[in-house]
Amino acid sequence: MSQRRDTALATLRRLDLDVAAVSGDGPPDERLGSLLDGADGAALADALGELGGAAAARLLAEKAAGCTDRALRKALRRAVFRLGQRGITVPSIEAPRETVAAAGPDLEGFVSAFDGRGDRLIWLVRPQSSGGLLLLAAEINEPEGLRDVRLLEATRKDLRSARERLLKDTGLRLVPADSEEAPSQG
């Protein structure tokens, strides 16, 4: 017997589980689910990966799909992989879907009035899921069109101070633009 198999058998004996109950295709022992959630979950997953059958593979895949503990999830996935290597049909494991909290409005716009040369500034600001903001800054000239576009990462504080500096240095005021009140093109 191999070292891995000996360790798996010892784990099953310690947890008072029968090898025949975990290696077959029939319904797994009712205690397996709660034992996998307990302190010995990773060790039991390793044992099932070595000795388990199709029913154990289904249970391991189901547990791995909903597991939030990184170490246990890794052990469960490893066990499912080993069962597949032994020729046992294993179900796919879907990654748990993370919920993303809404960061407020998707897109904010700021616009300045035209200056004496026909230039206008437009800023589009979008919150990033990792925090901070993504700023698309464009300079538009009335007769010539788009002159300059830049994409930057910034914070709310950066935007506020840039708007204040722009007003102080050039006299251009960026005001919030409401997309519902903007004139439609086309």
Strand, helix or coil at 159? Answer: helix
Q: Which residues contact 127 (CB under 8 A, 6 or more apart)?
A: 103, 104, 106, 133, 134
Residues of the chain with CATH 3.10.450: 108-177
Residue 87's pLDDT is what? 86
Residue 37's pLDDT is what? 82
Distance of alpha carbon 133 from alpha carbon 106, whole angstroms: 11
pTM beyond cutoff 0.85: no
pLDDT in tens, the chain (186 residues): 688 888 888 888 888 887 777 777 666 667 777 888 888 888 888 888 888 888 888 888 888 888 888 888 899 889 889 888 888 887 777 655 554 444 445 788 899 888 888 889 999 999 888 788 899 999 998 888 888 999 989 888 998 998 999 889 988 888 888 755 544 444
Domain boundaries 108-177, corresponding CATH code: 3.10.450
Rg (CA), the chain: 30
**C-beta separation of 94 from 67 below 8 A:** no
